[in-house]
Structure 1
Amino acid sequence: MSIQQSGTQIVGQYALGLLLEICSHYGHHDETVKSGKWENNDDWCYWDYPMIELYGKTAGIIGLGRIGQATAKLLNALDMKVLAYDAYQSEAGAKLAEYVSLDELFAQSDVIFLHCPLFPETEGMINKENIAKMKDGVILINNSRGQLVVEQDLADALNSGKVYAAGLDVVSTEPIKGDNPLLKAKNCIITPHISWAAQASRQRIMDITVDNIKAFLDGNTVNRVNK
């Protein structure tokens, strides 16, 4: 197992968690119940936001590596149609998602997940030109790299309603700056880069690091990045 694999499952889980919060607003409704709204409600239930059912909707994953595949498995369990764009297609990925072009993914997806690395060709890929290719009311999830997104363009799209909501665990500069336009954008959840931070994941990082050091001292290097 490599260090890159230490957070595979939890990062996929976190991506889905961001989406589920957008769809059902668990935290908000918990707060309203505890503030007395349900107790004083004339009806037996209420909801302050539209509830979104994911069944039958289309998810697009940009970057179908280990983390993208972990997310795809969860989306398949929800009976969503899963599309993927990746410069390097794999047999494992093809079992979990239908590979399409990037423009097809933008056009067909109700939800878009960013699970790709930050390269010159991916930096700023979520910009006003590509957002215009997306469905009206699309949801964007990014717990990969903040620099994949042109933040002012996303904020504008959120405020106009072109993008219904965004769930972000990363931003372009971390810690976030007070003038980041996403802080005041509509329907934007931002968490402080904690997708990887479950205790089990952090323990795997430490265990892998110790194993790598032991292997190096024994003359048997593993997880080398220069080969």
Structure 2
Amino acid sequence: MHAVFLDKNTFSADVDFSSIEHQLTRLTCYESTPPSEVLARCLDADIIITNKVLLSAELLSALTKTKLICISATGYNNVDIDAANRLNIAVTNVSGYAGPAVAQYVFAQLLEYHQQTSHHNSNTEKGLWSNSNAFCYHGKTINELAGKTLGIVGYGSLGKAVATIAQAFAMKVIISERPSASVIRADRVSFEQLITQADIISLHCPETAETKSLINSDVLSRMKKNAVLVNTARGALIDENALLNALRNKEIAYAILDVLSQEPPQANHPLLNSGLENLKITAHIAWASIEAQQRLIDLLSQNIIAFSQGKRLNRLN
């Protein structure tokens, strides 16, 4: 079988693709694929591997040879699943590979904020400790995570991984029920309760019609003034203009974003150019430890093996 990987540059250069190559007669990799070249590159492929390249119904209808689409991610809104189903093209995704990486990212950022590690390292490098008349040199305030309430929105594998570490820090963990739910499960709190009680809110839910702009001006106004918002899920979960205003007006204390509504963002994106000290943005890398990337590729190879054996593993249709 011949497979094409349309956007290999979504993975680090150090990732080993041999587990996929062993299942194929040929693997053709493209660093990236503009929309104008997708059809030509896919015409001869039995299998298409894509992370974020859009595969529309119109495009899929022209691919008479394609039997399998492997999405090298958990989210699948870039592939028209209904069209693939009509055309008898199998579609798979991967999940459960990034729990340790995302949880580590969340707490790396939270520890940097609460411990002020870079600030205190810098103070020593500047000689402020050496010139101090006391045995220590106090800079910015250090706060403990212990005793703080962490609210988790989206309690799949990623949310659970974050909760496990939070409990090790002696934090109180509360888990949001779905915002529109009429019944609150015993181990959940309402979304409204969570946003008013949590010192830290960490988002791990998918982007759906229900969750788009879940964090809006109304929600931000009801959060604690000292609250920290962390988003490692999808940028569209947050109304970005509302967040910008909330941070400027100190309605919440801090925001940590690994995702934005448009990726890559334009250079003039208002959040990127805000100049705010209470906002930190990284380039969608919370998932991207080398170990997590390798797990993803190896899971993708298992999808190919299962398909070739007539089995339904991680099928979306």
Judge same fold: TM > 0.5, yes or no: yes
1:143 maps to which of 207, 232, 236 = 232
Partner of 1:132: 221
Partner of 2:278: 187
Letter in 2 for 1:134: M
Helix, strand or coil at the partner of 1:196: coil
Give 1:25 shift.
Answer: 2.0
The answer to whether the Cα contact below 8 Å between 1:64 and 1:86 also exists between their aligned partners in 2 is no
Give 1:173 shift.
Answer: 1.6
Asked if residue 46 in structure 1 is aligned to residue 137 in structure 2, the reply is: yes
Give 1:47 shift.
Answer: 4.1
Letter in 2 for 1:209: L
C-alpha deviations, 1:80-138, integer Å up to 9, x for none?
A: 1111113399xxx97xxx41111100111111111111111111111111111111111
C-alpha deviations, 1:133-169, integer Å up to 9, x for none?
A: 1111111111111111111211221122221111111
Change (3 A) 1:49 1:9: same
Give 1:198 shift.
Answer: 0.8
Please give the alpha-carbon distance, in whole angstroms, between the structure 2 residues aligned to 1:30 and 1:180.
Answer: 31
The answer to whether the Cα contact below 8 Å between 2:207 and 2:236 also exists between their aligned partners in 1 is yes
Helix, strand or coil at the partner of 1:113: strand
Asked if residue 68 in structure 1 is aligned to residue 159 in structure 2, the reply is: yes
Helix, strand or coil at the partner of 1:182: coil
Give 1:212 shift.
Answer: 1.4
Please give the alpha-carbon distance, in whole angstroms, between the structure 2 residues aligned to 1:212 and 1:39.
Answer: 58
Q: Calculate the TM-score normalised by the size of structure 2.
A: 0.64
Please give the alpha-carbon distance, in whole angstroms, between the structure 1 residues aligned to 2:188 and 2:254.
Answer: 25
The answer to whether the Cα contact below 8 Å between 2:123 and 2:139 also exists between their aligned partners in 1 is no
The answer to whether the Cα contact below 8 Å between 1:139 and 1:166 also exists between their aligned partners in 2 is yes
The answer to whether the Cα contact below 8 Å between 2:225 and 2:250 also exists between their aligned partners in 1 is yes
Structure 2: 5+ residue runs without aligned partners? 1-92
The answer to whether the Cα contact below 8 Å between 2:174 and 2:188 also exists between their aligned partners in 1 is yes
Please give the alpha-carbon distance, in whole angstroms, between the structure 1 residues aligned to 2:134 and 2:214.
Answer: 45
Asked if residue 224 in structure 1 is aligned to residue 309 in structure 2, the reply is: no
**Number of residue pairs aligned between Structure 1 and Structure 2:** 219
Helix, strand or coil at the partner of 1:181: coil
The answer to whether the Cα contact below 8 Å between 2:196 and 2:223 also exists between their aligned partners in 1 is yes
Normalized per residue, the structure richer in helix is 1
Structure 1: 5+ residue runs without aligned partners? none
Please give the alpha-carbon distance, in whole angstroms, between the structure 2 residues aligned to 1:189 and 1:42.
Answer: 34
Which range moved further: 170-179 or 146-155? Answer: 170-179
Asked if residue 110 in structure 1 is aligned to residue 195 in structure 2, the reply is: no
Which range moved further: 5-14 or 103-112? Answer: 5-14
Letter in 2 for 1:86: E
Root mean square deviation of aligned Cα: 2.1
The answer to whether the Cα contact below 8 Å between 1:159 and 1:186 also exists between their aligned partners in 2 is no
Change (3 A) 1:101 1:18: same
Please give the alpha-carbon distance, in whole angstroms, between the structure 2 residues aligned to 1:36 and 1:180.
Answer: 37
C-alpha deviations, 1:162-191, integer Å up to 9, x for none?
A: 211111111122223333332322311111
Partner of 1:121: 210
2:128 maps to which of 37, 48, 73 = 37
Structure with higher Rg: it is 2
Partner of 1:200: 291
Please give the alpha-carbon distance, in whole angstroms, between the structure 1 residues aligned to 2:141 and 2:245.
Answer: 21
Letter in 2 for 1:5: G
Query: Identity of counterpart residues, as a percentage?
Result: 38
Change (3 A) 1:214 1:151: same
